[in-house]
Amino acid sequence: MGIRVYKPTSNGRRNASVNDYAELTTDKPEKTLCVRIKKNGGRNHHGKVTCRFRGGGARKIYRIIDFKRNKDGIPARVETVEYDPNRNCFISLVLYEDGEKRYILAPNGIQVGQTIESGQLVEPKIGNAMPLSSIPVGVEVHNIEMIAGQGGKLVRSAGLVARLMAKEGDWATIILPSGEMRMVRIECRASVGQLSNPDHQNIKIGKAGRKRHMGRKPHVRGKAMNPVAHPMGGGESRANGGRHPCSPTGVLAKGGKTRNKKKTSNKRIIRRRKSNRGLQLVL
């Protein structure tokens, strides 16, 4: 894949770049695996904004992705590599020998016509899915489950990859792209390989209009608001907030703990993620 940079015919074009999508093989999705999604503009069922600065954007059709990869013992042929407007990595349409079609997250280097499988006894090659107990130590993986049978929750973004570092008893140790080292049950599944579209991080949006196409509205600073609209608003001249950064409801934005102690898996984290995102993976 590559990044395309246009001639600077305008200020918006001057600093913008786009993906050339050289790996894609089709631009028509599988209709049986598509559903229409309703926009909510960041509002809940009461009509109250719960996620700010969302709304508008180009219309999207959701592709149903098989995150569980639980169709064991039946080989599947890769039919296409496609763009998905709902995520930044590519997806692949696979056709199983029994005639069923499913979308999966496309690993980097997957080819049309390639055969992939899932199950405990399959070979650990790119595109195959299996429990962590069947994956050799040191292999790169993505789409990792946190609870067996729930479907992949970790490492699902473009270009990301985790590494299986060790297995001991009923637990496997993995290093995530953030540098975090955590333990996961060995019966949890993962897919082998790095995710596609690794150059996504190098794309420059270039202008505000492209963000609006993505459904993102301008993000207004709290201290630029009136005091009635935000705890950090108001003050004579250019005030610097007068308190620690927070949300409109007073939740701390930096350093405040917001995780639910009853629902977290903190006790399975061996090493916290690194503050320097440049050193993403310890090999």
d(CA 146, CA 179): 17
Domains of the chain: residue spans and CATH: 3-201+260-271 (2.40.50.140)
Specify the pLDDT at position 264. Answer: 79
In sequence order, what are the residues at sequence separation of 6 or more whose Cβ sits closer than 8 angstroms to the Cβ of residue 258?
251, 252
**Pairwise CA distance, residues 33 & 110, whole Å:** 20
Residue type (1 letter), 146: M
Q: Identify the pLDDT of residue 279.
A: 46
pLDDT attached to residue 259: 80
What is the DSSP code string of 235-269?
-SSS---SSS-B-TT--BSSS---S-TTT--GGGE
The confidence score (pLDDT) of residue 209 equals 95
Give the pLDDT confidence of 88-135 residue by residue, as tens digits: 999 999 999 999 999 999 999 999 999 999 999 999 999 999 999 999
In three-state secondary structure terms, 201 is helix
- By CB neighbour count within 10 A (0-12 exposed, 13-18 middle, 19+ buried), where does 246 fall? middle
pTM of the shown model: 0.89
Surface-to-core class of residue 217, CB atoms within 10 Å of its CB (0-12 exposed, 13-18 middle, 19+ buried): middle
What residue type is assigned to position 18 of the chain?
A: V
Q: Which pLDDT belongs to residue 262?
A: 81
What is the pLDDT at residue 156? Answer: 97
Q: Residues of 136-160 as b/e, b for ≥16 C-beta within 10 angstroms?
A: eeeebbbbbbeeeeeebebbbebbb
The residue among 77, 90, 74, 68 whose CA lies nearest residue 20 is: 90
- 141: β partners: 162, 192
Is residue 199 classed as helix, strand or coil in its secondary structure?
helix
Under-70 pLDDT residues of the chain: 1, 275-283
Please tell me the predicted confidence (pLDDT) of residue 75.
96
